[in-house]
Structure 1
Amino acid sequence: MLTLLVSAAAVAAAAPGPHVAISAAMQDSAAGWNAGDLKRFTAIYAPDALYVAGDEVARGKDAISARYAKSFANGGNTRGRLTFQPLAWRPLSAVHVLHVARWTLTPTGGKPQTGLTSLLFERRKDGWKIISDHSS
């Protein structure tokens, strides 16, 4: 019995937390943006995700993709290199995590743009997905 408990504890300790998986998904999304790959950039969104920015609310991954499509032209991205800087994490449940990050877009020639994003992630069968994105 003791061996079973120790083994279970070792497996739990070895399993990566949601921060690791979410950070990897964020990095892959940014890599998609930087490669001009809209599908890869938006793979992080759940099909039923909400996106809020300014006075706009986009409902669903297709609407979010359509909103971003104008930034992708001729197989590239027209707005610059995207990076994320994690600022805060708040686990809300076993399947929900709130992540706050700073996004920065650095164009080839010009001043970087930066803002904040609050992302609500939900663990789904296909991994951690954004179900709500409020960016400014």
Structure 2
Amino acid sequence: GYGATFYPGGERYEGEWSGGLRSGWGRMYYQDGSIYEGQWLAGRPSGQGMLRLPNENQYEGGWKDGKKHGPGKFFYLDKGQLFEGIWAADIPKRGVLIDFGRDEAPAPTQYPIPKIELVDPDGVLAEAQAMFDDSQN
């Protein structure tokens, strides 16, 4: 069913329960000021959810066994950057870091991330195709 529980130290959970464990959709307010809102399974964040940290940075994406897992986005709102990628057991495995709202960020990084683009993407593709075709002969 649905209910709320208050834990020692000021933490609280509002959401769905199953078998005495947080399961389904719910929102957890942690002692450090973090808030997780999303899916739960067997008492841990699992599925899709969002974690907002006390400094307003936030992660939106997949969770498994209480850890970031699968595709997700980490918004470094204090720095004006966004990391979009794939996590496995709380560790980012691959992704892209871009400037995102850097001009409005309270503590932007000293150097902006340069935008990298190919001057002639069609030419690069044609060259790669030609190399592949030559290797097949």
Task: Please indicate, yes or no, whether the TM-score normalized by the shorter chain is above 0.5.
Answer: no
Which is richer in helix?
A: 1
* Structure whose CA Rg is larger: 2
Which is richer in strand?
A: 2
Q: Structure 2 length normalisation: TM-score?
A: 0.29
Q: Structure 1 length normalisation: TM-score?
A: 0.29
